[in-house]
C-alpha cells in the first residue's frame, strides 16, 4: 500500500528545481497533449519550457543551451502516457503560460519589440519547416511573411548604430529579449502579438 502511494505521489509531483521541472513538463505536455494540440502548439509549449529551464540554470550562450536542452529532452527515455497525463495538471499550475492562449504583451520599445518578434518567429520558422516536410504548410508562409519586414528593420546598419555590429552581440541581445518575454507569453501568443497568428 505504501509503495503504491509513493508511486502515485512521485508521478504527480514536480521537482523543486525549476530547470528540472521545466524539462519534465516539456515531455509531459508533449505526450499528454499529442492528440489534442497541433504540432505548432506542441512546439510552442516545448520551446517555452526549454526557455524556462535555460533561464533557471543558465550555462553558456542562450541558443546553444536551448539546443542542448531540446536535444536532451527529446532523446531521454520516453515518459509513459499515464505519467504524462498525471503530471499535466501540476505542470499547468507551475508553468501556466506554456499552454496559455491569453494575449501576450510586447515591449513598448520598437527595437526590443522587433528583436523579440524576429527571435520568436525564427524559432517557429524552424518548426514550421519540419512540419512542412509532412506535406502541410504548418504556418511557414505566414512566418516568412512576418519575418520580412523585421529583416528590413534589423539591418546591419541599424545594429551597428546600436553597438551590435558583430553576430555574437546581436545573438546575445536576441537571447536576452526572448528570456525577458517568458512572463509575457509563449512563442505562439508572442507571434500573434507580432501579427502572425498560427495554430
Which of 96, 139, 141, 146 has its CA nearest to residue 117? 146
Helix (H) or strand (E) holding 171: helix 167-180
pTM: 0.88
Q: Which among 105, 94, 112, 16 is positioned nearest to 57, based on CA atoms? A: 16
Tell me the chain's radius of gyration from C-alpha atoms: 18
138-157 confidence digits (pLDDT tens): 789 999 999 999 999 999 99
Residue 107 has which C-alpha cell?
515591449
- Low pLDDT (below 50) residues in the chain: 1-11
C-alpha grid cell, residue 135? 506535406
Amino acid 9: pLDDT: 44
pLDDT digits (tens, 9 = 90+) for 62-72: 888 988 888 88
Residue 100: which residues within 8 A CB-CB, separation 6 or more? Answer: 185, 186, 189
Straight-line distance from the first to the last Cα atom of the chain, in angstroms, rounded to the nearest whole number: 44
Which pLDDT value is given to residue 122?
Answer: 94
CA torsion 61-160-194-32 (nearest 10°) is: -10
pLDDT of the residue at 5 = 37
Q: Which helix (H) or strand (E) holds 88?
A: helix 81-94
Residue boundaries of the structural domains of the chain = 2-94, 110-193
What pLDDT score was predicted for residue 12? 67
- pLDDT of amino acid 7: 41
Q: What is the pLDDT of residues 52-89, one digit of tens each?
A: 999 999 888 888 898 888 888 777 677 899 999 999 99
Amino acid at each position: 500500500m505504501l509503495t503504491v502511494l509513493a508511486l502515485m505521489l512521485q508521478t504527480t509531483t514536480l521537482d523543486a528545481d525549476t530547470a528540472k521541472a521545466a524539462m519534465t513538463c516539456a515531455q509531459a505536455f508533449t505526450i499528454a497533449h499529442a492528440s489534442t494540440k497541433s504540432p505548432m502548439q506542441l512546439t510552442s509549449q516545448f520551446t517555452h519550457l526549454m526557455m524556462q529551464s535555460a533561464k533557471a540554470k543558465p550555462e553558456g550562450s542562450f541558443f546553444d543551451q536551448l539546443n542542448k536542452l531540446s536535444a536532451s529532452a527529446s532523446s531521454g527515455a520516453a515518459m509513459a502516457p499515464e505519467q504524462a497525463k498525471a503530471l499535466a495538471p501540476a505542470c499547468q499550475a507551475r508553468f501556466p503560460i506554456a499552454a496559455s492562449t491569453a494575449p501576450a504583451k510586447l515591449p513598448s520599445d520598437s527595437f526590443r519589440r522587433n528583436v523579440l518578434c524576429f527571435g520568436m518567429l525564427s524559432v517557429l520558422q524552424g518548426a514550421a519547416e519540419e512540419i512542412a516536410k509532412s506535406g502541410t504548410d504548418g504556418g511557414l508562409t505566414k512566418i516568412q511573411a512576418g519575418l520580412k519586414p523585421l529583416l528590413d528593420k534589423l539591418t546591419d546598419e541599424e545594429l551597428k548604430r546600436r553597438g551590435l555590429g558583430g553576430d555574437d552581440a546581436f545573438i546575445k541581445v536576441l537571447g536576452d529579449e526572448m528570456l525577458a518575454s517568458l512572463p509575457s507569453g509563449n512563442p505562439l501568443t508572442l507571434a500573434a502579438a507580432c501579427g502572425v497568428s498560427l495554430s
